[in-house]
Amino acid sequence: MSLSDTVTIGSRGSKLALWQAEWVKSALKKNNAGLSIDITTIKTTGDKILDVPLSQVGGKGLFVKEIEEALLDGRIDLAVHSMKDMPAVIPEGLKIGAVPVRENPLDVLISKKNRSLSQLRRGSRIGTSSLRRSAQLRHLRPDLEILPLRGNIDTRIRKLDTGDLDAVILAAAGVKRMGLEDRIVEFLNETHLLPAVGQGALCIEIREKDPRMEILAAGLNDSETQIAVDAERAFLIRMEGSCQIPIAAYAKINGKQIFLEGLISDLEGEKIIRDRISGPFTSSRQIGIALAEKLLNSGGREILGNIFSKIKKGE
């Protein structure tokens, strides 16, 4: 493509989303000196509905649908998303063009009086709207009270500081990218809170059969992160994952081996099925599917059935 052409990046308008879009813009310009790049902000349904838990209004696609529509109709050339916001199924005509190097994938605890998770008193009130987080927290600390909490990072921390919450759980990546690392009391090890699929990674989404964007996006791809995310997303797809189901997965690569851990839980966190699997990193997607099958056959299918039944009944 000609350097005189302008590339338009589509992004949500939150501080974190714009930080991510600016990071991609800088990386593209570093690799393609003289390239003109604009950022267009797009308000998604998820940005408009802030008083209802995501699990009740449609889940992950709420943060990407309008941006994907702009990509499909040519208003933007590429989209920047948080990978954990990406639904299991990507619309026809679009694809993941690149997965840049991953930030810390863990969750973090931010609390009043700098108390760690183990130091929080019985009955402490923790804010999170993630079913994945709440289910694992209820399993780990059934004595805590989990309250729904929506909004961007600043909003959630402000509600902690000014409200009657004792702590909030946030993604480490977002907190670090917003320069709020000094507020972190504790990084929650994956043995305590297994991360969301793709957490800490960015997704560069492009149109299929768009060689201009394929070339640009390829320069931002980190192969190790992509392999890990491919395994996690294969697990998600096979588990029929959405924000309505407490599902988690995290892959690590060591040498030529990939190690994938995943879990599924009921909504109350009373029954958690968790397992791990490993194999050659060249088979990352097959490993993701194999782990999903393992969990489904160990009781995960029953958990899914019960959750889908509750959703159908509107419970």
Give me the active site residues, please: 85
End-to-end CA distance of the chain: 52
H-helix segments, the chain: 15-31, 45-48, 54-57, 65-72, 131-140, 153-162, 172-177, 211-218, 223-238, 284-295, 301-313
| Lookup result for tokens 């838990």 | 53
In a 3-state reduction of DSSP, which class is residue 231?
helix
In a 3-state reduction of DSSP, which class is residue 68?
helix
Identify whether the C-beta of residue 34 lies closer than 8 Å to the C-beta of residue 49.
no
Residues 6 or more apart whose CB falls under 8 angstroms from that of 200 comprise 83, 84, 102, 103, 104, 105, 106, 171, 172, 173
